[in-house]
Amino acid sequence: MSGRSVEQSWELHHRAVGVTPMATQTHSKAPRPALREVEPCFLVRGEGCRVWDVDGNQYIDFRNGLGPISLGYAYPSVNEAIAKQLQDGVVFSYAHPLEVEVAERLTEIIPCAEKVRFLKTGGEAMAAAHRLARGFTGRDHILTCGYHGWVNSMREGVPAATKSTYTALPWGNVDAFQTAIDAQGADDIAAISVACDYAEIEQGHQFLPALRAMCDRIGALLIFDEIVTGFRLRRAGAQEYFDVTPDLAVFAKGISNGVPLSVYLGRADVMDAVKSVVISSTFGGDTLGLAAASAVLDVYEQEDVIGTLWARGQQLHTGFGELAERHGVDAGFSGLPPVGLLRLPTTEDRVRFEGECLRQGVITFSVYYPSYSHSEADIDEALEALGRAVQQLKNPTA
Ligand SMILES: Cc1ncc(COP(=O)(O)O)c(C=O)c1O
C-alpha cells in the first residue's frame, strides 16, 4: 500500500478552492492540510465497501458517504431500479405511484408512521417536522438534542428572534430538559426533537421514555431524528430499538443507499397539518430517490441487513479493542456496532491515526459506518491497516 500519490486530488482541491468555499459542499468532507500527503480530496467511483480516488488509489470506506451508503456502493439491485426508472422520467407534473407505494411500505414497518411525506435532505425534513410541530400545537419553542442539519443549526446568520425559539440540550440529561421547560413555560413548548448521541446511545433506554413521558405531560410533540439511526440500528431506527414511539420522525441517509431522499412521517393528525402549515417542494417525491428506496426496502425485507451491520460492526469494535490493548494505546469504540464512535487519546492522535489509515488504504471518520457490503474478510483487512495505524501512534518510527 506504500507509494500512494494523491497529487491529482490536491491539484483539483487547489482549483476547487478558487470556485467553491471550503472546496466542498459538506464541511465534514473538507480535506485537512495536515494530511496533504495522504488525504484523497476527490473520490470518483465506489463498489461494495470500496472506493477509488482521482489518483486511482483504492480504499475500504467506513465513512460511507457520511452515512447514507447502507447496502454498499453501486449496489446492483438499487442501481437497476434507478436505471429502469430513469428511462421513464424523474419528476412529473403530478404525483407518481411510487410516492404511494413507498409511503405505504413505511407505514407498515415504522411504528410512528401513519402518514408519510418526502423531501430531499435530512435537515430540510427536520425543519419540516419542527414547522409541523409548531403549526399543530400553536406553540413556538423547540427543545433540541443533537445535530439536525444546517438549516436547524442556530449559528451565525440566524436572527436572534429565531434563535430564541430553540434551546439545545445535552443527551441523557432529563433534568436539563425539565429545567428548560420550567424556565420557558410548559405551554410554550411545541416539541422535543432528539437525535441519538452515538457514544452514549444506550442511555436511550432511560432517556427516551423519560422524554416521551415529559412530552405527554406538557402536551408537546416528541420528534426523533432517525436520519442516521434509521435502517442502521434497526430498520425503524431508535424507535424500534428503544421501543419508544415518537409523534413524528425523520428518516434519510440509509433509506435510499445514497440517492438523495428524506422522509418525514408520523401521526396522521399532525402530518395532515402540512396543508395549512404549507410544506411543499418541487423535488419532494422525485422518482429516483423513491425507486432506490423501494429497492432498499426489498433488500432489508429479504436479507438480514441489520444483523449484518451489527455483526460487522462488532467484529470491528472487538478487533480494534484487541489491537489497542496489544499496542498499549488507550483507544476504543464506544456506542453500538452499527454506529460506533472511535475514541483516541488526543486530537493530534486522531489526525495521525486517520492519516496512517489512509496510507494503508482505509477511509475512517469519527463514526464508523459498516455497510452490508463489508464482508468479514474486508473487516479483517481493515483491521490489519488499523493495527498498523495504532502501532504508529505508539511508535511513530516503526
Ligand atoms: C443526525 C443527523 N441529523 C440531521 C442531519 C442533516 O442531514 P442532511 O445533511 O441530509 O441535511 C445529519 C447529517 O449528517 C445527521 O447526522
Interatomic CA distance for residues 34 and 237, integer angstroms: 36
Q: What is the pTM of this model?
A: 0.97
Ligand 1 lined by 197 (C-beta under 6 Å): no
Segment 246-270, tens digit of pLDDT? 999 999 999 999 999 999 999 999 9
Residue 2: inside a domain: no
Choose the final residue of a domain: 270, 302, 334: 302
Looking up residue 312, the CATH number of its domain turns out to be 3.90.1150.10
Query: How many A from CA of 122 to the centre of ligand 1?
Result: 5
Among the atoms of ligand 1, which is closest to the Cα of residue 66? 14
154 and 273 in a common domain: yes
Q: How much is the average pLDDT of 71-89? A: 98
> Could you identify the residue written with the cell 440517492?
259
Q: How many CB atoms lie within 10 A of CB 260?
A: 17
Ligand 1 lined by 68 (C-beta under 6 Å): no
Q: How much is the average pLDDT of 21-40? A: 95
Q: How much is the average pLDDT of 322-333? A: 96
280 and 161 in a common domain: yes
Choose the final residue of a domain: 302, 332, 350: 302
Residue 116: inside a domain: yes
297 and 333 in a common domain: no
Confidence of residue 198 (pLDDT cuts 50, 70, 90): very high
334 and 204 in a common domain: no
Please report, as a single letter, which amino acid is at residue 328.
G
pLDDT exceeds 70 at position 229: yes
Number of domains in the chain: 2
Segment 110-147, tens digit of pLDDT? 999 999 999 999 999 999 999 999 999 999 999 999 99
Residues 6+ apart with CB under 8 A from 15: none
Residue 1: inside a domain: no
226 and 114 in a common domain: yes
215 and 88 in a common domain: yes
Query: How many A from CA of 149 to the centre of ligand 1?
Result: 5
Element (H, E) at 45: strand 43-47
Q: How many CB atoms lie within 10 A of CB 2?
A: 5
Residue 13: inside a domain: yes
82 and 40 in a common domain: no
Task: For ligand 1, pick from 69, 228, 229, 256 the residue to mutate: most ligand atoms within 8 Å of CB.
Answer: 228
Among the atoms of ligand 1, which is closest to the Cα of residue 26? 9
377 and 330 in a common domain: yes
Strand, helix or coil at 192?
A: strand
Confidence of residue 1 (pLDDT cuts 50, 70, 90): very low
CA–chain centroid gap for 57, Å, is 26
Q: Which three cell numbers stand for residue 364?
A: 475512517
Looking up residue 295, the CATH number of its domain turns out to be 3.40.640.10
Confidence of residue 2 (pLDDT cuts 50, 70, 90): low
